[in-house]
């Protein structure tokens, strides 16, 4: 079945700097890759997603890149702000149509 690996598990960056979170997946048939943000005690919420027919997608300070050959995708957050502090989950949709989530990255934005 699908396996999604996410790194790092914890990331601390200075406010204003960029943050990058990386994920790899195992199922070459996967074609949908969402990213969710979960603030402490809250529900996960979609922040951006990408499909296999594009290599990059951007929404203001957030961007996602996808390398299908290498089977990895990354989340980039630029000009980080205190409200970016949260846990971020990547996910990949596998051949059985289930979404498999990575274990999450806890992002700390340092003042």
Partner 1 sequence: NAGVTQTPKFRVLKTGQSMTLLCAQDMNHEYMYWYRQDPGMGLRLIHYSVGEGTTAKGEVPDGYNVSRLKKQNFLLGLESAAPSQTSVYFCASSYTFNQPQHFGDGTRLSIL
**Per-residue string for binding with partner 1, 67-96, x by CB under 8 A?**
----------------------x---x---
Tell me whether residue 83 or residue 97 sits nearer to partner 1 (CB atom). Answer: 97
Please tell me the distance from the alpha carbon of residue 14 to that of residue 97, in angstroms, as a whole number. Answer: 38
Minimum CB distance to partner 1, residue 44 (Å): 5
If you write DSSP's letter for every residue of 29-94 in order, what string do you get? T--EEEEEEE-TTS--EEEEEEETT-SEEEETTEEEEEETTTTEEEEEE-S--GGG-EEEEEEEE-
Query: Are 5 and 101 spatial neighbours (Cβ–Cβ below 8 Å)?
Result: no
Number of residues that bind partner 1 (CB under 8 A): 24
**Per-residue string for binding with partner 1, 26-65, x by CB under 8 A?**
-----xx-x-x-----xxxxx--x-x--------------
CA gyration radius for the chain? 13
Q: Which residues bind partner 1 (CB under 8 A)?
A: 1, 6, 9, 31-32, 34, 36, 42-46, 49, 51, 89, 93, 97-104
């Amino acid at each position: 079945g699908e396996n999604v690996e996410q790194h790092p598990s914890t990331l601390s960056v200075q406010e204003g700097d960029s943050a990058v979170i990386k994920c790899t997946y195992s199922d070459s048939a996967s074609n949908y890759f969402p990213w969710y943000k979960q603030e402490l005690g809250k529900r996960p919420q979609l922040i951006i997603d990408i499909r296999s027919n594009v290599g990059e997608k951007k929404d203001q300070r957030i961007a996602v890149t996808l390398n299908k050959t290498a089977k990895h995708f990354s989340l980039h957050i630029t000009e980080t702000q205190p409200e970016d502090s949260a846990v971020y989950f990547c996910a990949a949709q596998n051949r059985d149509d289930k979404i498999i989530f990575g274990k999450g990255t806890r992002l700390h934005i340092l003042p």
